[in-house]
Chain A
Amino acid sequence: MRVPRQKRRRPLVPISAMSDIAFLLLIFIMLISLINYRREIPIRYSEAEKLVNSHEEKNLEIWVDHSGALYVQGVRHDLAGIEGIVAETIMRNPSTRIHILADRETPYRNVHGVLEILKTLQHRVVSLVVRARKGE
């Protein structure tokens, strides 16, 4: 008796599924981008030569613009408001790195106010965010 041998079919991936995958990836990337959305304040960064990588797992950015206005997450606050935010952040996670991003032309008194808050709250380390000096 002759046994009919089944022909082995090649495994096929339907090409139409590719567009579905691409679409899902697009949604995924968009969601990730929204989570990581960082509200920047337009400032002119200060420049320095000796820089270190000051980024940590948890970070809090305090922005100081040219006029001395203070911002956290794109929202303007006064010094008391900043103190509240910093205190709450440190309480929740003491290892949070505080970054000060100040305009290069802003008077020092505006940055000093933030430093005084950190001193009062006994926060040990602060990062002054600057850019590498151009032309070097």
Chain B
Amino acid sequence: MRVHFARRRTIDIGESGTLSDLAFLLIIFFIVIAVFNVHQGILLGIPRPDSKRVVEKQDLLWVELTKNGTIWIEGRSISLQELAVRVRDLRSFRPNMTFALQVDPDTPYQRVVDMIDLVRKLEISNFSFSMGTAALQEVRK
């Protein structure tokens, strides 16, 4: 009796599609890794240490941010929404308005970010902020 041996068939990688699957997974992997490393945030321009700018007194909007997050403007406290309305009104007849923010050293960072975010949303180009407590007391008086 003659026995017929079946020939073992080889698998062609090109046809099986395994290689293309692998390449596709690798592409996805690198795209995901690239997205993970991207930062989003607020870009701030830092002034030179010796830079000074002359601002007319009526163009200056002096805002104080206390450590409990209260916003003080011209001796009274207001909310963030009220501040936004106030700034919009003010800017309509003072286009060169400068927003000067004085931040208490103990203010939580999120409150400061909220203020900077508001300034960016209102597209205020003249914006400066500093830290201090002594000056804040004078403003309140």
Interface residues, chain A, CB within 8 Å of chain B? 10, 12-13, 15, 18, 21-22, 25, 29, 32-33, 36, 38, 46-55, 59, 64, 99, 102-112, 115, 118-120, 122-132
Q: Which of B54-68 contact A (CB under 8 A)?
A: 67
Residue of B nearest to A115 (CB): B46
Decide if the interface of chain A is mainly helix, strand, loop or mixed.
Answer: mixed
Q: Min CB distance, A59 to chain B, in Å?
A: 7
Smallest Cβ distance from A29 to chain B, in angstroms? 7
- In this complex, the member of A32, A38, A50, A99 whose beta carbon has the largest number of chain B beta carbons within 10 angstroms is A50
Taking CB atoms, residues of chain B closer than 8 Å to A107 are 67, 105-109
A-B contact count (CB 8 A): 135
Cα–Cα distance between A124 and B43 once the two chains are bound (Å): 10
Give 7 new A-B contacts, CB below 8 A, not counting A21-B22, A49-B117, A59-B39. A51-B42, A107-B105, A107-B108, A108-B111, A108-B112, A119-B46, A122-B49
Q: Contacts A47-B113, A55-B37 given: A108-B13 contact, CB under 8 Å?
A: no
Given A18-B13, A46-B113, A107-B107, do A124 and B46 touch, yes or no (CB 8 Å)? yes
17 A-B Cβ contacts within 8 A? A10-B10, A10-B12, A13-B12, A25-B26, A38-B37, A50-B42, A50-B120, A52-B40, A52-B41, A53-B38, A104-B108, A104-B109, A108-B103, A108-B107, A119-B47, A119-B49, A128-B116
Cβ 8 A contact of A15, one of B11, B48, B104, B111:
B11
We find that the number of chain B residues with CB closer than 8 angstroms to chain A is 41
Flag whether B74 is at the interface (Cβ < 8 A). Answer: no
Q: Are B109 and A129 neighbours in the complex by a CB distance under 8 Å?
A: no
- Pair A108/B104 contact, Cβ less than 8 Å: yes
**CB-CB < 8 A to B67: which residues of A?**
107
Contact B121 A127 (CB under 8 A): no
B81 CB-CB contact with A under 8 Å: no
Q: In whole Å, how far is A61's beta carbon from the nearest beta carbon of chain B?
A: 8
**Is A105 touching B43 in the complex (CB atoms < 8 A)?**
no
Whether B107 lies near A130 (C-beta < 8 A) is: no
Beta-carbon contact of B40 and A132 below 8 Å: yes
**Contact status A53-B40, CB under 8 Å:** yes
Whether B17 is near chain A, meaning CB under 8 Å from some CB there, is no
Closest to B108 in A: A105
- Of all chain A residues, which has the CB nearest B65? A108
On whether the beta carbons of A54 and B43 are closer than 8 Å, the reply is yes
